Amino acid sequence: MAPRRRLLALLLLLGCGHSEPFTNPDTSTDQPFDPGPPVRLTANPGGDLQPAWTADGSGLLYSVSDPARQDRDVCLALIPAGGARQSEHWCDVPEGFRRSDAIYAAGPGPDGRTAFLASATSLTNFSPEHIGIRVSPGVDPNDGTEALHLPYSRGTGLVNWAGRIHWVEGGRLAYLGQTFKVRQHCQFVCDPPDTTVASLGVELLDLASGVPAALPGTIQATGLAAIADGAVVLYTLAGDSRIYRRNLASGEVTVAHDFGTAGIARDLDASATRVAAVVGGLVSEEDDPDLGQFQFDRGGIVHVVDLTDHTDTPIPEAGRLYRRPAISPTGDVVVAEGYQFTVQFLSDPATGQPIADTTITSSSDLIRFGAP
Protein backbone atom coordinates (compact mmCIF):
# COMPACT_ATOMS: atom_id res chain seq x y z
CA MET A 1 0.00 0.00 0.00
CA ALA A 2 1.36 3.39 -0.94
CA PRO A 3 1.47 5.59 2.16
CA ARG A 4 -0.61 8.77 2.17
CA ARG A 5 -1.16 11.47 4.76
CA ARG A 6 -4.80 11.73 5.80
CA LEU A 7 -6.30 14.46 7.96
CA LEU A 8 -10.00 14.17 8.62
CA ALA A 9 -11.51 17.58 9.33
CA LEU A 10 -8.05 19.12 9.72
CA LEU A 11 -7.16 16.92 12.68
CA LEU A 12 -3.57 16.39 11.54
CA LEU A 13 -3.64 12.73 12.45
CA LEU A 14 -1.61 9.90 11.00
CA GLY A 15 -3.52 7.70 8.61
CA CYS A 16 -3.41 4.48 6.68
CA GLY A 17 -5.55 2.97 3.95
CA HIS A 18 -6.52 -0.02 6.13
CA SER A 19 -9.63 -0.22 8.27
CA GLU A 20 -9.09 0.85 11.86
CA PRO A 21 -9.35 -2.22 14.12
CA PHE A 22 -8.57 -0.41 17.39
CA THR A 23 -10.98 1.19 19.84
CA ASN A 24 -10.47 3.45 22.85
CA PRO A 25 -12.08 3.02 26.29
CA ASP A 26 -14.28 5.57 28.03
CA THR A 27 -12.35 8.58 29.38
CA SER A 28 -14.27 9.11 32.66
CA THR A 29 -11.38 8.55 35.07
CA ASP A 30 -8.77 10.58 36.90
CA GLN A 31 -6.17 7.82 36.71
CA PRO A 32 -3.81 6.90 33.86
CA PHE A 33 -5.59 4.65 31.36
CA ASP A 34 -2.63 2.30 31.28
CA PRO A 35 -0.44 2.65 34.39
CA GLY A 36 2.53 1.35 32.41
CA PRO A 37 5.36 1.82 32.18
CA PRO A 38 4.92 3.55 29.84
CA VAL A 39 1.82 5.36 31.14
CA ARG A 40 -1.10 5.93 28.80
CA LEU A 41 -2.39 9.34 29.82
CA THR A 42 -5.34 9.74 27.48
CA ALA A 43 -7.89 7.66 25.60
CA ASN A 44 -9.78 9.71 23.05
CA PRO A 45 -11.34 8.36 19.82
CA GLY A 46 -10.66 11.69 18.14
CA GLY A 47 -6.99 11.88 19.04
CA ASP A 48 -4.74 13.74 21.48
CA LEU A 49 -1.96 15.65 19.79
CA GLN A 50 1.14 17.80 20.01
CA PRO A 51 2.00 17.85 23.75
CA ALA A 52 4.09 20.72 25.14
CA TRP A 53 5.30 21.27 28.70
CA THR A 54 4.77 24.59 30.41
CA ALA A 55 8.07 26.36 31.10
CA ASP A 56 7.92 25.59 34.82
CA GLY A 57 7.02 21.94 34.22
CA SER A 58 3.76 22.25 36.16
CA GLY A 59 1.56 21.00 33.34
CA LEU A 60 1.22 19.68 29.83
CA LEU A 61 -0.68 21.48 27.07
CA TYR A 62 -2.02 19.50 24.12
CA SER A 63 -4.59 19.57 21.34
CA VAL A 64 -7.65 17.36 21.67
CA SER A 65 -10.35 16.47 19.17
CA ASP A 66 -13.73 15.19 20.35
CA PRO A 67 -15.58 13.48 17.48
CA ALA A 68 -18.85 13.96 19.37
CA ARG A 69 -18.64 17.73 18.84
CA GLN A 70 -20.78 18.70 15.87
CA ASP A 71 -18.62 21.79 15.26
CA ARG A 72 -15.48 19.61 14.77
CA ASP A 73 -13.46 21.84 17.14
CA VAL A 74 -9.90 20.89 18.06
CA CYS A 75 -9.54 22.23 21.60
CA LEU A 76 -6.61 23.00 23.91
CA ALA A 77 -6.31 21.08 27.17
CA LEU A 78 -4.03 21.14 30.21
CA ILE A 79 -3.03 18.17 32.36
CA PRO A 80 -1.10 18.91 35.60
CA ALA A 81 2.31 17.25 35.83
CA GLY A 82 1.98 13.81 37.39
CA GLY A 83 -1.78 13.75 36.81
CA ALA A 84 -4.01 12.15 34.23
CA ARG A 85 -7.13 14.33 34.24
CA GLN A 86 -7.59 17.60 32.41
CA SER A 87 -7.63 20.58 34.73
CA GLU A 88 -8.48 23.00 31.92
CA HIS A 89 -10.16 22.62 28.54
CA TRP A 90 -10.69 25.44 26.01
CA CYS A 91 -12.80 25.21 22.86
CA ASP A 92 -14.45 27.66 20.43
CA VAL A 93 -11.16 29.51 19.88
CA PRO A 94 -10.57 31.69 17.93
CA GLU A 95 -14.02 32.48 16.50
CA GLY A 96 -16.71 30.89 18.67
CA PHE A 97 -19.35 28.19 18.70
CA ARG A 98 -20.80 29.05 15.30
CA ARG A 99 -17.49 28.15 13.63
CA SER A 100 -15.27 25.09 13.41
CA ASP A 101 -12.19 26.16 15.43
CA ALA A 102 -8.85 24.46 15.96
CA ILE A 103 -5.79 25.06 18.18
CA TYR A 104 -2.47 23.39 17.44
CA ALA A 105 1.26 23.63 18.18
CA ALA A 106 0.97 25.27 21.59
CA GLY A 107 4.29 26.88 22.50
CA PRO A 108 4.55 27.91 26.18
CA GLY A 109 7.05 30.71 26.78
CA PRO A 110 9.47 31.27 29.67
CA ASP A 111 7.55 34.35 30.84
CA GLY A 112 4.18 32.56 30.96
CA ARG A 113 2.94 33.60 27.52
CA THR A 114 1.67 30.94 25.12
CA ALA A 115 1.88 31.00 21.33
CA PHE A 116 -0.31 28.72 19.23
CA LEU A 117 -1.66 28.14 15.76
CA ALA A 118 -5.39 28.83 15.41
CA SER A 119 -7.70 28.19 12.50
CA ALA A 120 -11.41 28.63 11.89
CA THR A 121 -13.84 27.76 9.16
CA SER A 122 -17.57 27.46 8.58
CA LEU A 123 -19.36 24.36 9.81
CA THR A 124 -19.89 23.20 6.22
CA ASN A 125 -16.31 23.73 5.03
CA PHE A 126 -13.39 21.41 5.80
CA SER A 127 -10.77 23.84 4.51
CA PRO A 128 -9.70 26.57 6.96
CA GLU A 129 -10.92 30.04 6.07
CA HIS A 130 -8.81 31.87 8.66
CA ILE A 131 -5.38 30.78 9.96
CA GLY A 132 -2.96 32.64 12.18
CA ILE A 133 -0.36 32.44 14.92
CA ARG A 134 -1.71 33.93 18.13
CA VAL A 135 -0.10 34.86 21.45
CA SER A 136 -1.85 34.76 24.82
CA PRO A 137 -0.53 36.32 28.08
CA GLY A 138 -1.11 32.98 29.83
CA VAL A 139 -2.27 29.49 28.92
CA ASP A 140 -5.87 30.52 28.23
CA PRO A 141 -6.16 30.81 24.43
CA ASN A 142 -9.28 32.98 24.75
CA ASP A 143 -6.97 35.86 25.72
CA GLY A 144 -4.84 35.47 22.60
CA THR A 145 -4.36 38.09 19.90
CA GLU A 146 -3.17 37.39 16.38
CA ALA A 147 0.55 38.02 15.86
CA LEU A 148 0.71 36.78 12.26
CA HIS A 149 -1.96 36.06 9.68
CA LEU A 150 -1.36 33.12 7.33
CA PRO A 151 -0.73 32.45 4.48
CA TYR A 152 2.34 34.23 3.18
CA SER A 153 4.74 33.40 0.36
CA ARG A 154 8.20 31.88 0.58
CA GLY A 155 10.54 31.05 -2.24
CA THR A 156 9.93 27.38 -1.45
CA GLY A 157 6.14 27.68 -1.38
CA LEU A 158 3.16 29.10 0.48
CA VAL A 159 3.35 29.05 4.29
CA ASN A 160 -0.22 28.39 5.38
CA TRP A 161 0.36 26.21 8.46
CA ALA A 162 2.85 26.08 11.32
CA GLY A 163 4.25 23.41 13.63
CA ARG A 164 6.52 23.17 16.68
CA ILE A 165 6.28 26.78 17.89
CA HIS A 166 9.12 27.84 20.24
CA TRP A 167 10.19 31.08 21.89
CA VAL A 168 13.70 32.26 21.02
CA GLU A 169 15.88 35.24 21.86
CA GLY A 170 15.05 38.71 20.63
CA GLY A 171 11.32 38.46 21.34
CA ARG A 172 10.82 36.07 18.44
CA LEU A 173 9.00 32.85 17.71
CA ALA A 174 10.58 29.97 15.80
CA TYR A 175 8.34 27.47 14.06
CA LEU A 176 8.18 25.01 11.19
CA GLY A 177 6.66 26.80 8.21
CA GLN A 178 4.40 24.30 6.49
CA THR A 179 2.12 24.16 3.49
CA PHE A 180 -0.88 21.95 2.85
CA LYS A 181 -3.25 20.97 0.07
CA VAL A 182 -6.80 19.74 0.78
CA ARG A 183 -8.43 17.39 -1.69
CA GLN A 184 -11.77 15.60 -1.63
CA HIS A 185 -12.81 13.05 -4.23
CA CYS A 186 -16.53 12.91 -4.93
CA GLN A 187 -18.31 10.60 -7.33
CA PHE A 188 -21.53 9.05 -6.02
CA VAL A 189 -20.49 9.97 -2.49
CA CYS A 190 -17.63 12.09 -1.18
CA ASP A 191 -14.57 10.59 0.46
CA PRO A 192 -13.22 12.18 3.65
CA PRO A 193 -10.99 15.22 2.99
CA ASP A 194 -7.40 14.21 2.24
CA THR A 195 -4.75 16.77 3.18
CA THR A 196 -1.08 16.61 2.28
CA VAL A 197 1.24 18.60 4.55
CA ALA A 198 4.81 19.48 3.58
CA SER A 199 7.47 21.32 5.56
CA LEU A 200 9.10 24.32 3.88
CA GLY A 201 11.64 25.20 6.60
CA VAL A 202 12.20 27.00 9.89
CA GLU A 203 10.66 30.46 10.20
CA LEU A 204 11.46 33.22 12.70
CA LEU A 205 8.71 35.69 13.60
CA ASP A 206 9.66 39.04 15.13
CA LEU A 207 6.71 39.82 17.40
CA ALA A 208 7.58 43.52 17.52
CA SER A 209 7.36 44.00 13.77
CA GLY A 210 5.10 41.07 12.92
CA VAL A 211 7.43 40.15 10.05
CA PRO A 212 8.52 36.51 9.51
CA ALA A 213 11.88 35.52 8.03
CA ALA A 214 13.18 32.18 6.76
CA LEU A 215 16.11 30.65 8.64
CA PRO A 216 18.81 29.85 6.05
CA GLY A 217 19.79 26.23 5.52
CA THR A 218 16.58 24.75 6.93
CA ILE A 219 14.60 23.87 3.79
CA GLN A 220 12.36 20.85 4.49
CA ALA A 221 13.14 20.96 8.22
CA THR A 222 11.29 18.15 10.01
CA GLY A 223 12.05 18.96 13.64
CA LEU A 224 12.71 22.05 15.74
CA ALA A 225 13.69 22.77 19.34
CA ALA A 226 15.26 25.64 21.28
CA ILE A 227 17.98 25.52 23.95
CA ALA A 228 20.32 27.93 25.77
CA ASP A 229 17.43 30.26 26.71
CA GLY A 230 16.44 30.54 23.07
CA ALA A 231 19.88 31.54 21.81
CA VAL A 232 20.30 28.24 19.94
CA VAL A 233 17.91 26.21 17.83
CA LEU A 234 18.17 22.53 16.99
CA TYR A 235 16.64 21.18 13.80
CA THR A 236 16.47 18.12 11.59
CA LEU A 237 16.17 17.86 7.81
CA ALA A 238 14.23 15.46 5.59
CA GLY A 239 16.00 12.15 4.98
CA ASP A 240 18.79 12.98 7.46
CA SER A 241 19.93 11.16 10.61
CA ARG A 242 21.57 14.28 12.12
CA ILE A 243 20.47 16.99 14.54
CA TYR A 244 21.86 20.39 13.60
CA ARG A 245 22.66 23.18 16.05
CA ARG A 246 22.47 26.83 14.96
CA ASN A 247 23.55 29.81 17.03
CA LEU A 248 21.00 32.49 16.17
CA ALA A 249 23.34 35.40 16.86
CA SER A 250 26.42 34.20 14.96
CA GLY A 251 24.73 31.95 12.42
CA GLU A 252 27.23 29.15 13.14
CA VAL A 253 25.88 25.69 12.31
CA THR A 254 27.31 22.45 13.70
CA VAL A 255 26.14 18.86 13.99
CA ALA A 256 24.80 18.33 17.49
CA HIS A 257 24.26 14.57 17.15
CA ASP A 258 24.12 11.89 14.46
CA PHE A 259 21.84 8.88 15.00
CA GLY A 260 23.63 7.06 12.17
CA THR A 261 22.20 3.68 11.28
CA ALA A 262 19.33 4.10 13.78
CA GLY A 263 17.56 6.00 11.00
CA ILE A 264 16.07 9.32 9.96
CA ALA A 265 15.67 11.82 12.82
CA ARG A 266 12.77 14.29 13.23
CA ASP A 267 10.20 15.66 15.73
CA LEU A 268 12.58 17.25 18.24
CA ASP A 269 12.10 18.66 21.72
CA ALA A 270 14.86 19.70 24.11
CA SER A 271 15.59 20.66 27.70
CA ALA A 272 19.09 21.94 28.57
CA THR A 273 21.39 19.29 27.02
CA ARG A 274 18.79 16.54 26.70
CA VAL A 275 16.93 16.05 23.44
CA ALA A 276 13.97 13.81 22.64
CA ALA A 277 13.64 12.84 18.99
CA VAL A 278 11.76 10.36 16.83
CA VAL A 279 14.16 8.13 14.89
CA GLY A 280 13.64 5.40 12.29
CA GLY A 281 10.24 3.73 11.98
CA LEU A 282 7.93 4.29 9.04
CA VAL A 283 9.19 7.35 7.19
CA SER A 284 9.69 7.91 3.47
CA GLU A 285 10.02 10.52 0.76
CA GLU A 286 6.88 11.13 -1.29
CA ASP A 287 6.03 13.27 -4.30
CA ASP A 288 2.88 15.38 -4.41
CA PRO A 289 1.62 16.80 -7.74
CA ASP A 290 1.07 20.24 -6.18
CA LEU A 291 3.58 20.46 -3.34
CA GLY A 292 6.49 18.49 -4.72
CA GLN A 293 8.66 16.22 -2.59
CA PHE A 294 7.95 15.93 1.13
CA GLN A 295 8.73 13.55 3.99
CA PHE A 296 5.82 11.26 4.84
CA ASP A 297 5.91 10.11 8.46
CA ARG A 298 3.84 7.50 10.27
CA GLY A 299 5.97 7.47 13.43
CA GLY A 300 9.08 5.87 14.87
CA ILE A 301 11.02 5.21 18.06
CA VAL A 302 11.60 7.90 20.70
CA HIS A 303 15.29 8.42 21.50
CA VAL A 304 16.62 10.51 24.37
CA VAL A 305 20.15 11.80 23.74
CA ASP A 306 22.47 13.85 25.94
CA LEU A 307 24.36 16.33 23.80
CA THR A 308 27.29 16.56 26.24
CA ASP A 309 28.41 12.92 25.93
CA HIS A 310 26.13 11.75 23.06
CA THR A 311 24.56 9.06 25.22
CA ASP A 312 21.65 7.81 23.10
CA THR A 313 18.87 5.75 24.68
CA PRO A 314 15.94 4.49 22.61
CA ILE A 315 12.70 4.02 24.55
CA PRO A 316 10.99 0.64 23.88
CA GLU A 317 8.07 1.06 21.50
CA ALA A 318 5.61 -1.12 23.51
CA GLY A 319 3.41 -1.84 20.48
CA ARG A 320 3.24 1.77 19.35
CA LEU A 321 4.89 4.17 16.96
CA TYR A 322 5.47 7.68 18.26
CA ARG A 323 5.42 11.25 17.04
CA ARG A 324 6.05 14.72 18.50
CA PRO A 325 7.67 13.94 21.89
CA ALA A 326 7.81 16.63 24.58
CA ILE A 327 10.56 16.44 27.20
CA SER A 328 9.98 18.03 30.61
CA PRO A 329 12.05 21.05 31.73
CA THR A 330 13.85 18.78 34.20
CA GLY A 331 14.64 16.34 31.39
CA ASP A 332 13.33 13.28 33.21
CA VAL A 333 9.87 12.78 31.64
CA VAL A 334 8.86 12.42 28.00
CA VAL A 335 5.30 12.54 26.68
CA ALA A 336 4.58 11.67 23.04
CA GLU A 337 1.75 10.90 20.67
CA GLY A 338 1.41 7.11 20.56
CA TYR A 339 -0.15 5.19 17.66
CA GLN A 340 -0.92 1.50 18.12
CA PHE A 341 0.05 -0.76 15.26
CA THR A 342 -0.14 -4.38 14.18
CA VAL A 343 1.98 -6.24 11.62
CA GLN A 344 0.64 -9.06 9.48
CA PHE A 345 2.69 -11.16 7.11
CA LEU A 346 0.99 -11.81 3.79
CA SER A 347 2.14 -13.92 0.87
CA ASP A 348 3.29 -12.15 -2.28
CA PRO A 349 1.13 -13.70 -5.04
CA ALA A 350 3.96 -13.34 -7.55
CA THR A 351 6.85 -14.79 -5.56
CA GLY A 352 5.21 -16.53 -2.60
CA GLN A 353 7.52 -14.64 -0.27
CA PRO A 354 6.10 -13.13 2.96
CA ILE A 355 5.33 -9.40 2.91
CA ALA A 356 5.00 -7.34 6.09
CA ASP A 357 1.79 -5.27 6.14
CA THR A 358 1.47 -2.67 8.93
CA THR A 359 -1.85 -1.29 10.17
CA ILE A 360 -1.68 1.87 12.29
CA THR A 361 -4.46 3.59 14.22
CA SER A 362 -5.46 7.01 12.94
CA SER A 363 -6.00 8.46 16.43
CA SER A 364 -3.24 8.99 18.97
CA ASP A 365 -3.12 8.83 22.75
CA LEU A 366 -0.56 10.64 24.89
CA ILE A 367 2.00 8.24 26.36
CA ARG A 368 4.29 9.19 29.27
CA PHE A 369 7.77 7.72 29.82
CA GLY A 370 10.34 8.19 32.50
CA ALA A 371 13.34 9.42 30.55
CA PRO A 372 16.45 7.24 31.04
pLDDT at residue number 163: 96
Q: What is the largest CA-CA distance in the chain?
A: 63
75, 88 Cβ separation under 8 angstroms = no
Band (285; pLDDT cuts 50, 70, 90): very high
pLDDT, tens digit, 9 for 90 and up, residues 94-137: 999 899 999 999 999 999 999 999 999 999 888 899 999 999 99
Picking from 160-164, 245-249, 286-290, which range would have the lowest pLDDT averaged per residue?
286-290
pLDDT, tens digit, 9 for 90 and up, residues 26-64: 334 444 434 457 899 998 888 999 999 999 999 999 999
pLDDT at residue number 2: 38
Total number of residues shown for the chain:
372
Hey, what domains does the chain have and what are their CATH numbers? 26-370 (2.120.10.30)
Band (3; pLDDT cuts 50, 70, 90): very low
Amino acid type, 192? P
Percent of the chain at pLDDT above 70? 90
What backbone phi and psi angles, to 5 degrees, belong to 8? -85, 120
358, 282 Cβ separation under 8 angstroms = yes
Residue 196: C-alpha distances to residues 5, 229, 233, 340 (Å)? 6, 34, 26, 22
> Across residues 343-356, what is the average pLDDT?
80
Greater confidence (52 vs 344) lies with: 52
Mean pLDDT of the chain: 88
What residues form DSSP beta bridges with 274?
271, 306
Neighbours of 226 (CB within 10 A): 24
pLDDT at residue number 36: 53
pLDDT at residue number 181: 84
> Across residues 147-155, what is the average pLDDT?
96
pLDDT at residue number 281: 95
